[in-house]
Amino acid sequence: MRFLLPIMFIASSAMANTQAPVYWQFKGPLGAEVRAALAVERTDDDAHHLLLPDERDAYLAGVEMPNSLGCLDDSTVCQSTSHGVLRALGFGARITASANKADGLFQVTLVMTLLDGAQPKTFEGKGATMEEAARLAFVALHGQGTLTLSLIPKDASFRIDGKPYGQGSGDYIIPAGKHTLLVEAPEHRSVEQPIQILAAKRRRIIVELPIAFGKVSLKTDPPTAKAFLDGALWENSQTHRELEPGEHSIRVEAPGFRTFAQKFTVKPSVAHDLTLKLQLKDPPWRTALKDAHPDTKAKSWSIRGGVEGTSARGGKLGLDTSRSRSIESVDESAGLIGFNLSLDWKSDYLMVTALGLSAQTGGGKAKAMLEGNINSELDTLSRTVIRAGWVGGHYSLWRIDAYATFGFGLIFEDIIGKTLTQEYEASQTRFVMGNELGLRYAFDPNWFAGMSAAFDYWPGDRSAATFTLNGGYAFNLPKGWF
C-alpha cells in the first residue's frame, strides 16, 4: 500500500532535517527481502530514503569529501566517528533494518539514528508476510497507524476529521493521534465516532450504517381534516415527520367528506410531500339511488290492481248495431274510467305480465256517425282488455322499480248510443298489440304502489291510452312452482 501523507520523523528536534538523505543499512540473512519490501512501500515523498545500493552510490558520487570531519577539532559535534562521516556526507539520519521470523510471523525492526544527538529510535512491524511486516514498520517510522475498516454497506465512504479519506472496507494508513471518523452512504444514516490511532498499531472498527429514515408531510383540503398515520392521530401533519422505510397506512376524515384510507411506501432519505383533497359525501338522496333497496327485489311474483283512466281515440268502426244502421265512425275521443288486475313475474332484469285484465266504462257524449250520415252520440262505451304473456324488462333504483313490457291482447267493446229518435247498441272484439311503461315504489318486501301508462293499437284501427294508479302485493311462489 502506498503512503499518501508526508514523512514525519518522531524525534522532535530532527524535523528540520527530514528531507536530508537517509542512509539505509540492511543486516541479517533477511536483509535483502526487507529491502525489496520497503522499496515497494516507498512513495515519491520518500525519495530521500536511499534504500537501494544504486541510489546510495549515485548520491555519494556527487558528494565531495571535506578535509575535516569536524569531530577532531570539536568532539561535541559528533557522538561518534560514524556520526561525523554521515554529517560530512550530508546525511540526516541512518536507519538500520533487520528482520526475523518466529511462530509463523515476520518481524521487521528499523533502528533510526538522527544526527542531532537524539537517542536512536526503534520501529517495529509484525505480519504474516514480509511485505505486511515491512509496511507496518515503515508506517511506524512515519508516525502512522493502520485503520482496518469493515463497512456495511460496502460502498460506504468515510471522512477523517471532516475530510474525505476513502471508500469501502479495507486497511487505511492514518496519522497517529485522536481523530473523528464519519461514515456515510446513500439512503443510510451517517455514523460519527471518535477514534485514536497509535503509531505502528492496527485499529479494527466495524461500522454498520442504519437505513436512513424517510420524511413525510401531508396537506389536506379541507385543512381541518383529521389525519391518522398507522392508526394514530397525526398532529401537525404539514410538518415533516421521520418514518422508517417501508409500508405505512394513512387515513383522513372530515365531517361531510368521504373518508380516505390508503397504504403507501416510504423510501429512505426521501421527503414525501403529500397533498390530499377529500371528496364531498353524496347527499342522502344520491346515496339512496346508487343501489336498489332489498325490498325492491325481495319478491319475484306480484299481484297488482288499481284504478285507471282511459282516453279512447275516435276512428272508423263499420260496426253493426241493434238497429238497421251501422256505426261508421266515432268522431271524438271518449274518456273512460275503470280498474285493472294483473299477475307479474320478474327476475333481476326480465319482467313478464303473465295475465292482465282491465275494464273501463264511460264515453260521455262523444259524437258518432251512423250509416247514411246520421249524427248520433255515445252514451256508454265499455271496454274489457285481456293481456297474456307480455314480456319486457325492469331496472331497480333505490325503492323504485321502472319497467316496460310489450305484447298482444284482446279488447271486448260494448257501445250504447242514441240519435234524436232512438237508441242503439253494438259490440265487437278486436285483436290489438300494445306496450306498458310504469314505475313502482316498494314500501316493504310485500306492498308497493305505482303508476303506469299503457297503449293499445293496431294498424288502421282506433287506439287507446290508459293511465293507471295502482298498488299491489308481492310474494314468492314455493320452490319448484316455477
Per-residue pLDDT band at 16 (split at 50, 70, 90): very low
Q: How high is the pLDDT of residue 92?
A: 79
Residue found under cell 264511460? 362
Q: Tell whether 1 is covered by a domain.
A: no
Residues 191 and 218 in one domain: no
Q: What is the pTM of this model?
A: 0.42
Residue 153 shares a structural domain with residue 66: no
Q: What is the pLDDT of residue 7?
A: 29
φ/ψ (deg, to 5) at 224: -85, 0
Say if residue 331 is in the same domain as residue 272: no
Distance of alpha carbon 433 from alpha carbon 407, whole angstroms: 6
The burial of 330, by beta-carbon neighbours within 10 Å (0-12 exposed, 13-18 middle, 19 or more buried), is given as buried
Return d(Cα 26, Cα 97) in angstroms, integer.
5
Between 231-235, 348-352, 419-423, 436-440, the lowest mean confidence (pLDDT) is in 419-423
Question: Are both 366 and 261 inside the same structural domain?
Answer: no
Give yes or no: residues 308 and 409 share one domain: yes
Look at residue 460 and tell me whether its pLDDT is greater than 50.
yes
Q: Is residue 466 part of a domain?
A: yes
CA-nearest of 270, 222, 267, 275 to 248 is: 267
Q: Specify whether 136 is located in the same domain as 151.
A: no
Out of 178-192, 215-229, 320-334, which region has the weakest mean confidence (pLDDT)? 320-334
Q: Taking residues 178-198, what's their average pLDDT?
A: 90
336 and 453 assigned to the same domain: yes
For 362-412, write each residue's pLDDT tens digit. Answer: 877 788 888 888 888 888 888 899 999 899 998 888 888 889 999 999 999
Three-class SS state of 131: helix
CA distances from 352 to 356, 462, 469, 475 (A): 11, 26, 19, 15
DSSP 432-468: EEEEEEEEEEESSSSEEEEEEEEEEE-TTS--EEEEE
CATH number at residue 271: 2.60.40.1120
Distance CA 348, CA 393 (A): 9
Percent of the chain at pLDDT exceeding 90: 24
Domain that holds residue 200: 145-208
Is pLDDT of 29 > 80?
A: yes
Cell of 216: 413525510
The residue with cell 454497506 is 153
- Residue 106, strand partner residues: 101, 127
Least confident of 30-39, 42-51, 155-164, 173-182: 42-51
Tell me how far apart the alpha carbons of residues 220 and 225 are, in angstroms, rounded to a whole number. Answer: 7
> Stretch 8-35: mean pLDDT, rounded?
66
The pLDDT score that the predictor gives to residue 287 is 63
pLDDT at 45 over 80: no
Q: Write down the pLDDT at residue 445.
A: 86
Has residue 251 got a pLDDT over 90? yes
Q: Last residue of some domain: 161, 181, 208?
A: 208
**Would you list the DSSP string of 160-222?**
ETTEEEEESSEEEEEESEEEEEEEE-TTB--EEEEEEE-TT-EEEEEEEPPBPPEEEEEEEES
Contact status, residue 456 vs residue 357, Cβ threshold 8 Å: no
- Residue 27, in any domain of the structure: yes
467 in the same domain as 356: yes
Instruction: Report the CATH number that the domain containing residue 413 is assigned in CATH.
Output: 2.40.160.20
Determine which of 43-47, 66-70, 425-429, 469-473 has the lowest per-residue pLDDT on average. Answer: 66-70
pLDDT at position 284, please? Answer: 65
Helix (H, G, I), strand (E, B) or coil at 8: coil
pLDDT at 89: 80
Domain count, the chain: 4
Confidence of residue 18 (pLDDT cuts 50, 70, 90): very low
Residue 4: inside a domain:
no
pLDDT in tens, 79-130: 666 777 777 787 878 899 999 999 999 999 998 887 665 567 888 888 899 9
Q: Quote the pLDDT of residue 219.
A: 93
Per-residue pLDDT, 76: 54
On whether both 156 and 136 belong to a single domain, the answer is: no
Does the pLDDT value for residue 2 go beyond 50?
A: no
Residue 456 has pLDDT above 80, yes or no: yes
The CB-based long-range contact list for 373-379 (8 Å cut-off, 24+ gap) reads 374/325, 374/419, 375/419, 376/327, 376/417, 376/418, 376/419, 376/424, 377/417, 377/418, 378/330, 378/334, 378/415, 378/416, 378/417, 379/416, 379/417, 379/418, 379/423
| 316/160: higher pLDDT | 160
Mean pLDDT of the chain: 83
Answer whether residue 7 is part of any domain.
no
Rounded mean pLDDT, 346-358: 89
